[in-house]
Chains A and B, each alone.
Chain A
């Protein structure tokens, strides 16, 4: 079995592959979202101290986890692109950034909705909230830098460097709970086991995996657009059936 993996590191071949893969991630994502949210909202028992308001964690926790994880993956792709000069890696990094920013925003927003009934305030200057906000700023800085450089090669390499420098911040987010003793509750899911009800676990992991699949599907779709945008002047793009159809009457 000798599969030439490098075949798919070329935008030309990856464009088609990504298009075929999207449904395999998008549909399971939709089903798992529905399943996880159903369990979370209707099956999981009411929590002893937080009553119904705790149910927002089924969205909040997966969004927070992914917002941090996407940054690392983005920085990883950016580093690959910077070191090996593989164009597709840089495009993947660029495609991941808006989704990462979206999850950071969802995490902050749902956290605020949870904080109001629990802490009596929409926002507290707790270490984890603040780090998540900084993470959102890092995403926005990355997107802004990428957008303001016209030459795509320089944009890729400059934003890659920024992503790598910024990823120094992600560990600080993770360990901030231990560094500063603040209002935010400590981790409930530990490596040695958890104090959560089984239905709550199920719901949370279902939504987590759903979010994960959603990220992959959306990133593949976005990377296809980026490939089309950057390779717009090449013959193979103009030979694509969908491009021909769009250009339709002109040719």
Chain B
């Protein structure tokens, strides 16, 4: 039996998780519908004045994306934990960090990516300008992976706990605030005619930083939770 290369392992985990999700499409769709619903609730709450809605659009979309990604976090490891797959994965001779990275990427493709793609449609409801919509999508594409990566640490720490779903939000949301600030700030900057480069650069930096550390930290967290 030949040993799997790291890229091979990564691809295998991503493909497996995507396949499993495709067999249970409802899970992915509920997150997306939740996102759309939360964003649509805001105008009902604050009133239909377009000026105000245009101003708060980016913040609303970002907060909703944050909440939606929290919603899907407990699922990242819990099904594998429940049927014992996770234990087998941890016994495998391959790097657990790469395996976790694969799960994070799969999670992002199922939660962050659809949100980023549907966000422009919601932005139109808030009468955002075309260039603001582009930046919104770009910022979401840069920012939502960070949410999945930080979230993976929280999901791993709370694995199998009572009330894990609420607890994971409590742990992860404060850590996600910088992403929220710079993500919403990017759209803010473009609507007020300033350069968006610094905000996007910060988001990119967060993503790289999280990419380096979070798989390892999440793997450690899994080891703590599984022993």
- Seen from chain A, the residues whose Cβ lies within 8 Å of a Cβ on chain B are 130, 134, 137-138, 140-141, 144-145, 148-149, 154, 157-158, 161-162, 165-166, 169, 172
- B178–A161 contact, CB under 8 A? no
Within 8 Å by CB of A165, from B158, B163, B177, B217, lies B217
CB distance from A216 to the nearest CB of B (A): 27
- Seen from chain B, the residues whose Cβ lies within 8 Å of a Cβ on chain A are 153, 157-158, 161-163, 167, 170-171, 173-175, 177-178, 217, 220-221, 224-225, 227
Within 8 Å by CB of B221, from A148, A161, A166, lies A161
- B227–A154 contact, CB under 8 A? yes
Taking chain A's interface residues, is the majority helix, strand, or loop, or is none over half, making it mixed? Answer: helix
- B217–A161 contact, CB under 8 A? yes
Within 8 Å by CB of B225, from A141, A144, A148, A154, lies A154
A157 to B157, CA, bound (A): 9
CB distance from B57 to the nearest CB of A (A): 18
CB distance from B174 to the nearest CB of A (A): 4
CB distance from A101 to the nearest CB of B (A): 13
A–B complex contacts, Cβ < 8 Å, 10 sampled: A137-B173, A140-B170, A144-B167, A144-B171, A148-B158, A154-B224, A157-B224, A161-B224, A169-B174, A169-B175
- A134–B224 contact, CB under 8 A? no
Given contacts A154-B227, A161-B220, A165-B153, A149 and B161 within 8 Å (CB-CB): yes
- A162–B170 contact, CB under 8 A? no
Query: Could you say which of A137, A141, A166, A172 has the most chain B C-beta atoms within 10 Å of its C-beta?
Result: A141
Given contacts A134-B174, A158-B225, A166-B175, A145 and B167 within 8 Å (CB-CB): yes
